[in-house]
Structure 1
Amino acid sequence: MRLSPDDVRRSLAGLPAKDSPWISMLQTNARAAAVAIPIRFTPDPVVIAILRSAELREHASQVAFPGGKRELGDVDLYATALREMDEEVGLAGEGITRLGDLTPTPTYNGRYLIHPYVVAVDETLAPEACSGEIARILELPLGAYLRGEAPRGGVIVPWNGAELFMPHFRLDACVLYGASAVIFHELVEQIATGIGATLPPPILEHEMPWGDREPV
């Protein structure tokens, strides 16, 4: 699929348009965090993600996007996302172009509000695991999702008397779930709408494929 940075930029224009459906989960003392959603516009575009190490005390063996908490030297949350992307996967510099923002999304435990920033990565830049916290680099097949070839999954989760749709994406032996999956799901749907692609509906499952882990 030939997808251009301009296609994505147009698709994300005007976002965020409303609060995340998860916003009621946010705690009053929640902290701001930021993630980068790096897209490589290869002939079949991919989004760069990471698999966290199984040795971590928190978020072990989870699929995520490069990101973290804002530090004192970060001028804003976009700077946080860029710094974390550089520190975690070595992507930085003039080969990074901001394309748009997605909806700030709370983690399931309500402790953080994640601000996602979508960036284009020049083809001359290659990601690499730059931290011992990262087991390996993953590529999410954005083109396959936009063509409807890669299935999207989901479960219905009860919350405060209501029901929330929680998407997930199976990647070989890994599962992208929680707030990161909500963010990626919005990206796929926004681009599909922007380019006029029709997506098959997510496949609803009765059990959470990540087991008894907290879906952060």
Structure 2
Amino acid sequence: MRLSPDVVRRSLAGLPAEESPWISMLQTNARPAAVAIPIRFTRDPVVIAILRSAELREHASQVAFPGGKREPSDVDLYATALREMDEEVGLAGEGITHLGELTPTPTYNGRYLIHPYVVAVGEGLAPVACSGEIAQVLELPLGAYLRGEAPRYGVMLNWRGAEILMPHFRLDACVLYGASAVIFHDLVERIAAGIGATLPPPILEREMPWGNREPV
């Protein structure tokens, strides 16, 4: 099946329908945040992500999605995601179409609850790094993951007596991990279920490939 905005919209219909298994990580004073998950429906669809600069004091050299904290001028969290996507990778305007939402996911430190919004990027739009905080704009091969050609990885963690998968994705020279990886894993699983695709299970590893970094 050719992946299209309508196919993704149908796959995400009715979501989010359940809480994240990590929801108990949230601190009582946790703040809401939002990210955009931009999909370019090229011949082989890709998801736009960013590699943060190595010079940042926080989250240096981490792969993430465009997003951030809600500002007083944002009418809602979807507006937050759109604003941040425009500020970080220059994607905005009539070429952006809302397709649905994914399960809100807490950061590992419990300080934020991230609300992911999936959007389609029109053919006339191309992402570009618009901030000094971004080292590179990345393309995650969504089509290859849905066909099972790109492997998924994970580490099994014991969280409050339950075994939970902490997924991660090995890219060319970096690793997508933490809350962003949980969100992307959710996207791949939801679309695969929507199109009736059977995915190979994640390849389990014994150690977290991000070392002693906090998997935010």
Q: TM-score, normalised by structure 2?
A: 0.99
* Helix, strand or coil at the partner of 1:172: coil
- Mapped pair 1:13 → 2:13: yes
Question: Residue 125 of structure 2 corresponds to which residue in structure 1?
Answer: 125
Amino acid at match of 1:60: A
Deviations 1:154-191 (A, max 9, x none): 00122223322100000011100000000000100000
2:83 and 2:13 mapped to 1: Cα distance?
24
* Helix, strand or coil at the partner of 1:139: strand
Q: How many residues align?
A: 216
* Helix, strand or coil at the partner of 1:82: helix
Contact 1:116/1:183 (<8 A) preserved: yes
Question: Residue 142 of structure 2 corresponds to which residue in structure 1?
Answer: 142
1:18 and 1:194 mapped to 2: Cα distance?
17
2:68 and 2:35 mapped to 1: Cα distance?
7
Alignment of 1:71-110 (within 5 A): 71-110=71-110
Question: Residue 202 of structure 2 corresponds to which residue in structure 1?
Answer: 202
1:168 and 1:28 mapped to 2: Cα distance?
27
- Mapped pair 1:37 → 2:55: no
Question: Residue 211 of structure 2 corresponds to which residue in structure 1?
Answer: 211
2:18 and 2:134 mapped to 1: Cα distance?
33
Amino acid at match of 1:175: V
Contact 1:40/1:48 (<8 A) preserved: yes
Amino acid at match of 2:61: S
Amino acid at match of 1:196: G
Amino acid at match of 2:47: V
1:114 and 1:20 mapped to 2: Cα distance?
11
Question: Residue 152 of structure 2 corresponds to which residue in structure 1?
Answer: 152
Deviations 1:100-149 (A, max 9, x none): 00000000100000000000000110000000000000000000000000
Amino acid at match of 1:155: V
- Mapped pair 1:49 → 2:53: no
Question: Residue 61 of structure 2 corresponds to which residue in structure 1?
Answer: 61
1:214 and 1:45 mapped to 2: Cα distance?
30
1:162 and 1:145 mapped to 2: Cα distance?
27
2:43 and 2:197 mapped to 1: Cα distance?
17
* Helix, strand or coil at the partner of 1:11: helix
Question: Residue 22 of structure 1 corresponds to which residue in structure 2?
Answer: 22
Contact 1:2/1:44 (<8 A) preserved: no
Deviations 1:88-111 (A, max 9, x none): 000000000000000000001000
Amino acid at match of 1:160: R
Question: Residue 174 of structure 2 corresponds to which residue in structure 1?
Answer: 174
Amino acid at match of 2:81: A
Q: CA deviation at 1:2?
A: 2.5
2:212 and 2:123 mapped to 1: Cα distance?
38
Amino acid at match of 2:137: I
